[in-house]
């Protein structure tokens, strides 16, 4: 492990086709939101040694990166078992990011995609990340704000026909289903990062309303895929290219629109 972790070069990312490739492996709703996240994160540089915490089943990493990532970390043994088959990490570790086995200043880059919103103690997590990042090391992450449910198709439909209480309940239930515990604003995140010793290099909003409306429209149709993943560790039993290509040409304008602010946040921050 020591030799691999001492490499000092960037991990190469793919330049595109994120949405097309995601559609071949995941339901439309997930493909939309994850492909936009890939597009955002592909703009950054990942210097080894790098840690991906909340690495999941490895699908996101296999679509974002050409190269393997040094270490993937997740609390789910089931997800790690699925990730092992994709061979996108040099090492996989089961555990929580708020208390790791790594030595001080172990990593140049720590990546986290859509994980922070599921955590209870953000201060403790950021303190641990600060400890294991090298001086001038970078944390790159995405998360969501409280506006995550504002543009969802069925919530807006209920509100527009006067069922305001049901619309509010729908939003609450969606956040419960996604296990959202901390949905902070850009300003709150900036303050929290500063308090924990990080310098914000980049802070951007993404996932505009039109993307989230389409995400919400297809969300109920992902139930069968969710059941499939529960029992097989895959979103789909088999992958086809015809239907994903049709979906891509129909929906690509919803994926490509990065001109407006949205409910997603991307931060690039440095340990000072």
At 98-132, the pLDDT tens digits run: 889 999 999 999 999 999 999 999 999 999 999 99
Q: 53: number of CA atoms within 13 Å, CB side?
A: 23
Statement: residue 209 has pLDDT above 80: yes
Sheet holding 198-206, edge to edge: 89-94, 69-74, 50-53, 107-113, 133-144, 264-271, 198-206
Is 2 a residue whose pLDDT tops 50? no
Separation of first and last alpha carbons in the chain:
27
223, two tokens: 């139930």
Strand, helix or coil at 101? coil
How far is the C-alpha of 124 from the C-alpha of 181, rounded, in Å?
A: 15
Mean pLDDT over 149-175 rounds to 96
- 2-148+183-271 folds as Rossmann fold (3.40.50)
The full set of domain ranges for the chain reads 2-148+183-271
**Backbone phi and psi for residue 12, each to the nearest 5 degrees, phi listed first:** -80, 135
Let me know the angle formed at the C-alpha of 157 by 212 and 147, rounded to the nearest 5 degrees.
Answer: 40
Rounded to whole angstroms, how far apart are CA atoms 228 and 236?
7
Q: How does DSSP classify residue 10?
A: B
Q: What is the pTM of this model?
A: 0.91
| Confidence (pLDDT) at 257 | 57
Query: Given phi > 0 = left and psi -120 to 50 = alpha, else beta, which region is 102?
Result: beta
223 pLDDT band, cuts 50/70/90, is confident
d(CA 75, CA 178): 16
Determine the pLDDT at residue 17.
87
């Amino acid at each position: 492990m020591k030799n691999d972790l001492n490499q000092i070069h960037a991990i190469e990312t793919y330049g595109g086709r994120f949405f097309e490739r995601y559609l071949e492996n995941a339901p439309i709703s997930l493909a939309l939101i994850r492909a936009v996240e890939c597009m955002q994160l592909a703009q950054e540089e990942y210097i080894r040694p790098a840690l991906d915490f909340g690495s999941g089943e490895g699908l996101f990493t296999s679509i974002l990166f050409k190269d393997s990532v040094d270490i993937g970390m997740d609390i789910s043994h089931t997800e790690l078992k699925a990730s092992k088959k994709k061979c996108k990490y040099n090492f996989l570790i089961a555990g929580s990011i708020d208390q790791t086995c790594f030595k001080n200043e172990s990593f140049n880059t720590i990546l986290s995609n859509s994980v922070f919103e599921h955590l209870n103690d953000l201060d403790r997590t950021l303190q641990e990340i600060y400890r294991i990042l090298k001086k001038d090391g970078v944390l790159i992450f995405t998360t969501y704000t409280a506006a995550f449910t504002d543009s969802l198709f069925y919530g807006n439909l209920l509100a527009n026909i006067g069922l305001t209480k049901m619309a509010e309940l729908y939003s609450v239930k969606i956040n419960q289903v996604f296990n959202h515990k901390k949905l902070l604003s850009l300003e709150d995140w900036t303050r929290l990062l500063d308090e924990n010793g990080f310098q914000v290099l980049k802070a951007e909003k993404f996932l505009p309303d039109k993307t989230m409306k389409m995400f919400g429209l297809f969300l109920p149709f992902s139930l069968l895929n969710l059941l499939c993943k529960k029992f097989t560790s895959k979103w789909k039993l088999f992958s086809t290219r015809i239907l994903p290509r049709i979906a891509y040409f129909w929906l690509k304008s919803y994926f490509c629109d990065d001109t407006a602010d949205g409910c997603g946040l991307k931060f690039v921050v440095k340990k000072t």
